[in-house]
Amino acid sequence: MSIDMTQFHGVFFEESFEGLEIMETELLELDFNDPGEEEINKIFRAAHSIKGGSGSFGFNEITDFTHVLETLLDEVRAGKHQLTKEEVNLLLTSVDCLRDMLSAARDKTEMDEEHIQSVQNELEKALGNKPFAKEENIDSNDSEDEKSSGSGWQIKFIPHHSIFQTGNDPLRMFRELEEFAEITTEINIDKLPPFNEYDLEECYLSWDLTLTTDVDEDHVREVFEWVEDECDLTIAQIESEQTNETKESELIKETEAATERRESRDRRKTDRRSGASTESSSIRVNTDKIDALINMVGELVITQSMLGQFGEEFDINNIDKLNEGLKQLERNTRELQENVMQIRMLPISFSFNRFPRLVHDLSSKLNKKIELKLSGESTELDKTVMEKIGDPLVHLVRNSLDHGIEMPADRIAAGKPETGTIHLNAYHEGGNIVIDIEDDGAGLNKERILSKAIERGIVKEGETLSDQQINALIFHAGFSTAEVVSNVSGRGVGMDVVKRNIHDLGGAVEVKSEEGKGSVFTIRLPLTLAILDGQLIRVGSQTYIVPLISIIESLQMKSESTKSIAGDAEVYSLREDYIPILRLHSVFNINCDSTKLDDGLLVVVEAEGQKVGLFVDDLLAQQQVVIKSLETNYKKVEGVSGATILGDGTVAMILDVTSLISLYREEAEFNKSSFINTEAA
C-alpha cells in the first residue's frame, strides 16, 4: 500500500521555515573572523534538515541548492574555509533564496530559476568551483570578446507599479547613466490610466534607452542594481547598423521573456498573499492552554447538566438554585471565552524576529552603525493583530534607520557614540498592547515640519501649535521634510498609511521627539480584534457603543459652561479647556429625547490628540461586545466602525471616534465658511 506523502508537506514546510529563521538569526550574530563552533553547527544542522526533507518529498531543486550551501558550511565547520563578510552576506542571501523556493513549492507556483542559479553560482565560486550553467543558457557564438565590443547598449526598463513605494526614482538612475554615456530616451505611456483612476503611488511608465558608450555591460547593470527586484530590465548590445534589426528582434524577444518572468513573479506574490491564510492557518498552542480549555469545557458540561434538571422538574422554590446556576454559567462562559482567546495569543517575538535582518541590511546600505535592542518579546497579542501590524512596524523602523539615526561622523560631532540605537519594546497597559519604537537619533526638526506644513497649506500662517500637534503633522498624506530622497524613504509615502492601518486595527499612533536626542513612536493596539470593551449609550431609541479606550470622562452639562462660536459650532468649557460638542442625533439624523444641552450628557472622547464631546441622552451599561464587520455585511458608514448584537437580540452600532472627529472638522469648516459668507453679505 502506497503512502500519500503530501499529507506530511505541511509539517515539512513549517519546520523548514523555522530552520531558516534559526539560520538567519545565527548568521546575523556570527563573528566571521572567529565563528563559534556551536553557531556554525546550528546553521549546518538547519540546512541539513531542509536538504533531507526536500529530498524525501521530491523537491529536487531545493535539494540541489541546499547541497551546495551545506557543502560550504561543512568546510567552514571543518576549518577548511575561512568566511569573509561578503560570504556571510551571501549566506543570508541564500536563506532568502531558500525561503522563496520553499514558498513556491508550498504554493505550487513557479520558482525564479534565474535568481536561484545566480545565487548557486556565487556559492560555487565561494567553494572554489567553476559556476554551473545550464546548457540552454550557453550560447556558443557569444564570447566575452563579442560581449565587450560594439558601440553601445539598448535598454528596456519597465518599472513595477510599486517602485515609488520603495523610495526609488528612475530619473536618478538615468542621470547616473549620463555620467558615462550619451543617452537617448523614449518614454512609453501605453499603460497610463484615465485621470480619475490615477494613483500617485503607482508607476505606469516605462522607458527605452539607447546608450552610446564603450562601457561594459556590468557597469550599466550596476546602475540598476538597487531596483533589480522592482523592474523588468533587458540590456542588448548595439553592434552595427547591419545587425540593428536583428538586435531589435532579440530585444523584443528578451523583453517578452522578462515580462513573462515578471508576470510569473507577480502571480507568485499574489498567490502567496492570497495564500497567507494557508501559511498561517495553523498555530502552535502550548498544551497547558489546551488542558485549561478542556477543563473549562468539563465545568460547562456540569453546569449545563445542572440547569437541565430545572427544566425537567421546575419548582418555584428552587429559584435561588436556578439563579446560582445561571451565575455559574456566566462565569464558565466568560472563562471559556478568555481561554479560547488565549489560544490565539502569540508572543510578539514572531513579529520582532524580522528586524535584526532588516537593520543589518539597511545599516550596511546606508553606511551607518546601528544597534537594535529588543525587549518585551514575550508580550502576547492576538494572532490577527500581529499579522496586520507587521507592515506599519517595518515602515517605522525603516524611517528611524534612514531619517532618525545620523551618520557616524555626524554623531561623533554631536558628542554621541558613533553607533546609534533603535529600541523596540512591547508591553501591556490598560487592556491594550503598547509598542514603542525608540531611537537616539536627530529627532524631529519642528521648525522645518511647521514651515513645510505652512507651505503646503496644512497649517495657516501665524497659527500656534503645540509640540504634539506639530509632531502629528508628519502623518499627513504625502508629507515629508526629507531634503534628499533615498532608496529607503523620504517621499512622504507611508506615514499616513501607517496611521491608517493602525487606525483600522482600532489602535492609535503618536510620536514624541526631542531635537538632537531622538524620537519615540508609540503604537497602542487592542489585544484582539474580535472583542471590544465598550460603553453603551442611548440617543433617542437607538443604542450605540463607544470604545472604552477612547472615553476620557462623562458628565452632566451646565448651560453656563456652553458657548457658541462662528457658525453653529458649540463648545463646552471644561477645566480651562474648550471641548467641541458633537450632537450624535444630528450626525445620524435621528430623533432624540431633547435638543437642550442641559437635558443630556456629554461623553468626552479623544482620538489623534483631539478631544470632542458626544451629546447623548443617557449612559447605559459597560460590557464586552463581539465585533461584527458592518462593511462586509452591509456597507461602510461614516462614523461607524462595526456592529454587535446585544443580549436582547438588537443590533447596536460601534462608533468610530476618529471618523466622528473628522466629520466634526468637516462640519465646523462648512459652518465657519457659511458664517463668514453671511457676515460678508
Active site positions, annotated: 48, 70, 399
Kindly give the pairing relationship between strand 551-556 and strand 542-547.
unpaired
Q: Cβ atoms within 10 A of the Cβ of 352, count?
A: 20
Cβ burial 108-131 (10 Å sphere, 16+ → b, else e): ebebbeebbbebbbbbbebeeeee
Q: Cβ atoms within 10 A of the Cβ of 327, count?
A: 11
CA 196 to chain centre: 27
Query: By CB neighbour count within 10 A (0-12 exposed, 13-18 middle, 19+ buried), where does 544 fall?
Result: buried
Nine cell digits for residue 407:
551618520
Nine cell digits for residue 441:
537619533
Note whether 223 and 179 are within 8 A (CB). no
Helix, strand or coil, per DSSP, at residue 510: strand
Q: Cβ atoms within 10 A of the Cβ of 202, count?
A: 16
Q: How far apart are CA 368 and CA 360, in angstroms?
A: 10
- Which residues are CB-neighbours of 644 under 8 A, at least 6 positions away? 532, 534, 545, 625, 626, 627, 628, 651, 652, 654
Which DSSP string do the residues of 522-565 spell out, in sequence order?
Answer: EEEEES-SSEEEEEEEEETTEEEEEEGGGEEEEEE--GGGEEE-
Kindly give the pairing relationship between strand 419-429 and strand 369-375.
parallel
- Which residues are CB-neighbours of 527 under 8 A, at least 6 positions away? 341, 345, 380, 381, 382, 385, 428, 431, 432, 433
Note whether 368 and 420 are within 8 A (CB). yes
Q: How far apart are CA 602 and CA 615, in angstroms?
A: 5
- Which residues are CB-neighbours of 303 under 8 A, at least 6 positions away? 325, 328, 329, 332
Q: Which helix (H) or strand (E) holds 647?
A: none
Q: Which residues pair with 534 in a beta bridge?
A: 547, 623
DSSP annotation of 59: -
Q: How far apart are CA 101 and CA 385, in angstroms?
A: 27
- Check residue 495 and give left, alpha or beta (phi > 0: left; psi -120 to 50: alpha): alpha
Nearest to 488 by CA among 418, 392, 400: 400
Helix, strand or coil, per DSSP, at residue 483: coil
- Which residues are CB-neighbours of 219 under 8 A, at least 6 positions away? 180
Q: How far apart are CA 595 and CA 592, in angstroms?
A: 7
- Which residues are CB-neighbours of 546 under 8 A, at least 6 positions away? 534, 535, 537, 603, 605, 614, 655, 657
